[in-house]
Amino acid sequence: MAWTVTYDLDEFRAAAGDFLGARPARHTTLLTVVSSLVAGGSGRYGDQPPVYGWWTGQGSVEGAFLCTPPYPPLLSPLPDEAAGALARTLAGNGERQITGVNAGRETAETFATAWTGLTGAMSSVEQNHRLYRLGTLTPPDPAPPGRPRTATAADRDLLVTWYEGFARETQALMADVAVQVDDKLSHDGITLWELDGRPVACAGISRTVAGMARVALVYTPPELRGRGYAGAATAAVSRAARAAGVREVLLFTDLDNPTSNALYQRLGYRPLEDHLLVSFTSAERTVPEQGHPS
């Protein structure tokens, strides 16, 4: 049993692709980041090259990770042995600064315990997320006034402004926001809710991978909130995904935001599992709060 680490995305996909695709809901973030890297190249999230790895258990792949600096590593669910071994592998890589970990709760806690024991770093939970899966879609009733439409290049400047607002409010570390918007626009991945010809909210969705897509970056400007626009946009993008044949429609919420958790459950999303974003700090540096935009 051992980890194989590579900087070659094609090698990683060849080795771990079937493992990731077999459980697309559990591996949603890994799959969507890989999809974005395939579409946008290795510099999609930053200047440093991404690193990838897979854990071989009883003759087959049983775990995977990727890291796109400056973001912390994304881990699939891992056996405790594999999580500890990954911490030792990454701790032995002197050139790579690991700033945290993003994974399901149990795996994140196991990796964090191993990492802090090896390095002397301190850990803190920055974000508690819950992954939801869409069951029966229940659109808002009554629906707010307006209608959905797919965003186009003509909406780019507005969306960049909104995504910047999203990043500030959620304290998420995001790569170039304009790149994020362009990536979503390239696959018709943003739905706007429009009132009298004016966009009032948006909801994004990832590329479809292994029959799975994830709703993300739902945003309403502060002055327009409380009117149901975000829920309507989320319902519209969810309905469109289902109509396009997406089997698993997912989304993450911040567990510290009861409003969004209640909203998505009203729309028909059901809890699947909890994830943690853990940051590591030492006396020499302080790590900012970090999320992943995809």
Return the domain boundaries, the chain. 2-130+274-281, 133-271
- The answer, yes or no, to whether residue 288 has pLDDT greater than 60, is no
67, 111 Cβ separation under 8 angstroms: no
Least confident of 29-33, 57-61, 106-110: 57-61
- The whole-angstrom separation of Cα 234 and Cα 138 is 11
The residue-averaged pLDDT of 256-272 equals 95
pLDDT at 292: 57
Cα-Cα-Cα-Cα torsion 71, 72, 76, 78, nearest 10 degrees, comes to 170
The highest-level CATH class for domain 2-130+274-281 is alpha beta
pLDDT at 294: 55
Least confident of 60-74, 96-110, 165-179: 165-179
The number of beta carbons lying within 10 Å of the beta carbon of residue 247 is 13
pLDDT at 94: 58
pLDDT at 285: 40
pLDDT at 174: 67
- The mean pLDDT value of the chain amounts to 92
DSSP assignment of 210-278 equals TTEEEEEEEE--GGGTTSSHHHHHHHHHHHHHHHTT-SEEEEEEETT-HHHHHHHHHTTEEEEEEEEEE
Judge: domain 133-271, CATH 3.40.1010.10: no
Task: Write down the residue that tokens 């999230």 correspond to.
Answer: 45
133-188 residue pLDDT tens: 999 999 999 999 999 999 999 999 999 999 999 988 887 666 689 989 999 999 99
The residue-averaged pLDDT of 84-111 equals 89
- The answer, yes or no, to whether residue 286 has pLDDT greater than 60, is no
Residue 200 in 3-state DSSP? strand
The residue-averaged pLDDT of 210-226 equals 96
Instruction: Note whether 2-130+274-281 and 133-271 share their fold.
Output: yes
pLDDT at 128: 94
pLDDT at 116: 94
- The answer, yes or no, to whether residue 287 has pLDDT greater than 80, is no
- The whole-angstrom separation of Cα 118 and Cα 93 is 12
pTM of the model: 0.90
Enter the DSSP assignment of 153: G
